Structure 1
């Protein structure tokens, strides 16, 4: 793995140093060039958790990935630059109900001036680091917060104006990649998993956030939200190419499955 090749992939042209401004710039560069996506999961292609595979997929093959890939890759890059990084485990869900289930989200702790929560794999609401312990951050169009809950638990939440928050709970206990092996396999093979049931892609731009779920593309920006329904395999391929810079023509072979799943979920 080569740091310069990674920096070229995310179009980072600065001089990387282990400081707060570089951390923010690297995070924004990766989020704006590497989409969150689950196309392999939709195609039935196994997705491993090792960082070497993530590097090959993202850097060499110009693809995106999900949290186990994107945050593992970002952790490697930050470590190469000289940052102090730990991997943390999050439980995605509302009101603490997910805490008894296996942790299903990987994100990062980066100690840089203060302990920071860094996440390039939750879909793209976060565009810069925030405090790991307690904070509110307005990162338009989102409001992000970290709250101290109970018994050592913290909660990260993201919210759009007028919308319901999406969150994950966590403790300040570092884990290794093996920690996520079983849940990664489950999310890829369990037919009730949202990663199996629905195609997903998200990409953060400097002025907007584009989200694809099933056949619905939402663009959220300063003027509000625009929604478009994709009605053909060509429209899907064009969307993936134009909005997410993803060239995966084989996804057209499962258009009928994507369309049927969309109908089951949304009517």
Structure 2
């Protein structure tokens, strides 16, 4: 693992002092160049979040990944530069997690003048670190809210175009191994959304592009626009040009993507 290779991957040549400006610039650069995606899960390729495996995939193979990969990589980068970083455990969904629920989302806490929520692995709504306290911020086209809840939880929510998503988390620091059960389940459970539906997401300055199956959605300050892809070539081209993912093998699962589209949009 080599920091210079990573910086080349995200096309970053700025300052590397462990300060707020560096953190924000690296955050934006990774989001701009590295997509959130689950192509390997669709192709039946096992996904690891061992740092060396993530570096090989995301940096050397110029791919993207999901939260366990993208936040693992970003944590390593920040620590190499000199930031104080800790892993936090998240629970995806708008409802409070049950006491026995296993965490299924990895996020980061970074000490930099103040405690910051840093998450480059939830798909790209967050375009900059957010102060780790009850707060509402505008990161166009999204409104992002952190709300303190009972029993020590904080609820993260993001909304744009009439759609809302989010997760719950606590401030207790955890070791990466706590995410292994969720990583395994999300790759093996037939009902896992990461197996059932192809997704790719990428965040630009004021624009968020989301692919789910055949449907490409763009969120920006103008509004929300959708396009439905019609052929395997259109899908491969979309991944290549909208998300920077050159994976021709995705055409092999076009029939699966078509079937899932029919299930979601029947009638």
| TM-score bracket for the superposition, by shorter chain length | over 0.9
Structure 1 SS opposite 2:55: helix
Contact 2:201 2:210 survives alignment (8 Å): yes
CA distance change for structure 1 residues 100 and 265 in 2, over 3 Å: closer, same or farther? farther
Q: CA deviation at 1:97?
A: 4.1
Q: Are residue 37 (structure 1) and residue 37 (structure 2) matched?
A: yes
Q: Are residue 57 (structure 1) and residue 61 (structure 2) matched?
A: no
Distance 1:98 1:30 in 2: 33
What is the Cα-based RMSD across aligned positions, in Å? Answer: 1.0
Residue in 1 aligned with 2:115? Answer: 115
TM-score by length of 2: 0.97
Distance 2:100 2:22 in 1: 36
TM-score by length of 1: 0.97
- Report how many aligned residue pairs link the two structures: 266
Residue in 1 aligned with 2:232? Answer: 233
> 5+ unaligned residues in a row in structure 2: which ranges?
none
Q: Which moved more, 1:165-174 or 1:16-25?
A: 165-174
Q: CA deviation at 1:165?
A: 2.3
Residue in 1 aligned with 2:223? Answer: 224
Equivalent positions of 1:131-210 (< 5 A) are 131-161=131-161, 163-210=162-209
Q: CA deviation at 1:98?
A: 5.4
Contact 2:160 2:219 survives alignment (8 Å): no
Q: Which moved more, 1:120-129 or 1:175-184?
A: 175-184
Distance 1:84 1:127 in 2: 20
Distance 1:112 1:54 in 2: 25
Contact 2:97 2:168 survives alignment (8 Å): no
Q: Are residue 263 (structure 1) and residue 246 (structure 2) matched?
A: no
Structure 2 SS opposite 1:95: coil
Q: CA deviation at 1:262?
A: 1.4
> 5+ unaligned residues in a row in structure 1: which ranges?
none
Structure 1: 4+ residue segments shifted above 2 A: 97-100
Structure 1 SS opposite 2:241: helix
Q: CA deviation at 1:164?
A: 3.9
Distance 2:101 2:194 in 1: 17
Contact 1:91 1:98 survives alignment (8 Å): no
